[in-house]
Amino acid sequence: MGVKDYIRTRFFPHIWCPGCGHGTVLNSLLTAIEKLGLSKNDIVFVSGIGCSSRISGYVDFHTLHTIHGRAVAFATGVKMSRPGLNIIVPMGDGDALAIGGNHFIHAARRNIDLTAIVMNNRIYGMTGGQFSPLSGYGIKATTAPYYNIDHGFDIAELSVAAGATFVARSTTYHVKQLTNIFCKAILHKGFSVVEVLSQCPTYFGRKNNAGSAVDMMEFYKNNTIPKGSKAKEENSDLIERGIFVQKELPEYCEEYDKIIKIAKNRG
Amino acid sequence: MKGKIKFVQGNEACVEAAMYAGLDFFAGYPITPSTEIAEHLSYRLPQQGGKFLQMEDEIASMCAIIGASLTGHKVMTATSGPGFSLMQEALGYAVMAEIPAVIVNVQRGGPSTGNPTHVSQGDVNQARWGTHGDHAIITLTASSHQDLFDITVDAFNLAETYRTPVILLLDEVIGHMREKLVIPEDGEIPLVKRLRTSLKEGVDYHPYFPREDGRIPMSDFGGVHRYNVTGLYHDMWGFPSDNPRLVHDLIRHLVDKIQNDRHIITRCNQYHLDDARTILIAYGSAARSAHHVVETSRREGQRVGLLELKTLWPFPSGLIREKCAKARTIIVVEMNMGQVLAGVKQAVDNPESVFLANRIDGVLIKPVDITRIMRLIQGRGV
């Protein structure tokens, strides 16, 4: 099957602006799913609210477009009630880590088998360019007209600390790496987090003089380095790409199955 | 009725009924005075192969049961006022996306943290209008454990019949009080199974296309039909739409499917209504005190009756109007500032004949609280 076989062409064109990185993420994600040869009936996309969350409507899987920040909580219900399904949770940075931050860290703590994808464009795009918890200090936004005094999260560090058993980061420039990471994240048994730096030329770009979509992807090319690279020691502003954590720990649904066995023996 | 006899708390009666109704997925967050429901289910559900989840908050609990309902399970959550407030957005999602679920609110005093360990009936209007936007909702309640059992099973049945969240509005006294419960034999109370589509794999399934009778068959998430579910206004494919005609029809459908069937959804208990000059209208634990007043008043020769409401929403206006047609005095007995009172005044011909006997201090309203109001109305003083 080609990537086109995984999309609902009836619902195109999509809502994303010209130059938005989210289409690249969608392409990369579908390429990964195609590579893995997963059955469409076994895949569920659960998303929240925001530009990124519209991804779920465009794909020909079971798709649940929920409410702002709660995608991981809905996904937990789907996964626990039907553990055989592959659950992919595409979110924006505000969706996943502002309003949804609590659900995010608790799902990581449980190590429930979800693939959380944070499409990080460092801005609230759908509402027109307000700063997010990933914007970072000094950034301009429609709600930070002088400059932003909020510091950003490091999604990878946060996920590792919260207990995620697979944590990776890539960008829309590094599509081959991204596809490779998506494959591993989907196959990983446990809570996996993939942060994708995804450009928003319309709001983040314009507000911060970051240039065109091409310029912003050039930025990803020039300012990110493979994880473990020595260049990081010389320039701490460089952003690391790659897999930060990949470890096997008991998965939540499987742990609950053990509880069921014990309870049935006692009952 | 031949069945197992138990001596239990109301919260346990609710658990017994939910298990009887086929509950196999619960997500919740501990909160007084509902916590025993979660505790008992954490023990009971895995014995039947069901799932119990303690989530990080009530928002997540409500979201998780919606996800699990979509995959074809019978789901429930239980909470109290503050948690019920947190659930409202996701509750609206279940209304919009037409996903069956049962939400138990064991009421405490509010607003805010209020009085966690004492009784109140202050969430009646929140159950109706807690979530934003036009919609209809089913809300049930009970005053005894046997009725609580029946009404809980009913809640699951109505949730499936109407593809809607159903709210079980209990109160602290009912939740914590212990009394006898007879658990019916299997099959004694009919259970409504989920209406699933008969369409085979490969045939185009429309998740929001009603049958001739108005009901919309579901397809388990993760099954052979892939479709979209959203909280946005949507078309028959479940895909977002802002087409004005479509939006209009969707809202009408969500409201009408419940409001038009209010006569079917209305449940009540009636005591001595036929010749009653004075009718007490009550529900939940307040109905127990009201019932006591009716029995003692009758022994004294007073023509007093009780209409005990078990369906609060859709509001049983027709029932109240019919039953109160010949009454001179109607007294609504409730533990709030008159939330059902307002509906009763609208329902009857003569609103001036409707009075409120209430308590709002966290103490169960007593028979004497009601008789005192009755004496005042009769001009007999306290």
Q: How much is the pLDDT for B300? A: 95
Residue B361 included in any domain? yes
Q: Is residue B31 part of a domain?
A: yes
Domain extent for B253: 1-265
Same domain, B261 and B333: no
Residue B382 lies in a domain: no
Chain A residues closer than 8 Å to B204 by CB: none
Residue B41 lies in a domain: yes
Quick check: A267 and B71 CB within 8 A? Answer: no
Confidence at residue B382, expressed as pLDDT on a 0 to 100 scale: 83
DSSP secondary structure code for residue A239 in this structure: E
CATH number, domain of B55, equals 3.40.50.970
Does residue B256 sit in the same domain as residue B351? no
Instruction: Give the domain-ending residue among B236, B265, B294.
Output: B265
Q: What is the pLDDT of residue B121?
A: 98
pLDDT score of A21: 98
Specify burial of residue A187 (Cβ count, 10 A radius: 0-12, 13-18, 19+).
middle
* Residue B29 and residue B174 in one domain: yes
Based on the fold, state whether residues B226 and B348 are members of the same structural domain: no
Look up the domain containing A209 and give its range: 3-266
Residue B233 and residue B329 in one domain:
no
Return the CATH number at B302: 3.40.50.920
B362 within domain boundaries? yes
A61 close to B (CB below 8 A): yes
Chain A residues closer than 8 Å to B71 by CB:
78, 81-82, 85
Which of B48, B61, B221 has its CB closest to that of A62? B221
pLDDT value, residue B206 = 96
- Please give the Cα distance from B206 to B204 (Å, whole number): 7
3-state percent breakdown (helix, strand, coil) of chain B, nearest 5: 40, 20, 40
Contact across the interface for A263 and B57, Cβ inside 8 Å: no
Give A-chain residues touching B59 at CB under 8 angstroms.
Answer: 70, 73, 103
List C-alpha distances in Å: B60 to A91, A178, B56, B71.
Answer: 16, 30, 6, 17
Q: Inter-chain contact B56–A63, Cβ cutoff 8 Å?
A: no
Check whether residue B73 and residue B194 sit in a common domain. yes
For chain B, the domain total comes to 2
Residues B108 and B207 in one domain: yes
Instruction: State both tokens at A232.
Output: 């990081």
Among B66, B226, B240, beta carbon nearest to A61 = B226
Q: B105 with B250, same domain?
A: yes
In total, how many domains does chain A have?
A: 1
**ipTM value for the complex:** 0.97
State the 10-residue block means of pLDDT for chain B, 382 residues long: 86 98 98 98 98 98 98 98 98 98 97 96 98 98 98 98 98 98 97 97 94 94 96 96 97 97 97 98 98 98 98 98 97 98 98 98 98 95 87
Partner residue facing B64 (CB), from A57, A77, A259: A77
Q: Judge if B244 and B346 occupy the same domain.
A: no
Residue linked to tokens 């009454």 = B327
Residue B358 lies in a domain: yes
Q: What pLDDT score was predicted for residue A267?
A: 67
Residue B75 CB-half CA count within 13 A: 28
Same domain? For B229 and B277 the reply is no
Judgement on whether residues B256 and B275 belong to the same structural domain of the protein: no
Q: Within this chain, do residues B278 and B314 fall inside the same structural domain, yes or no? A: yes
* Structure confidence at residue B126 (pLDDT): 98
| Regions of chain A where pLDDT drops below 70 | 267
Residue A114 belongs to a domain with what CATH number?
Answer: 3.40.50.970
Dump pLDDT digits (tens) for B277-316. Answer: 999 999 999 999 999 999 999 999 999 999 999 999 999 9
CA distances from A225 to A212, A215, A237, B380 (A): 22, 17, 10, 88
List of chain A residues whose C-beta atoms are within 8 Å of the C-beta of residue B66 = 66, 74, 77
B208 contacts in A (CB within 8 Å)?
A: none
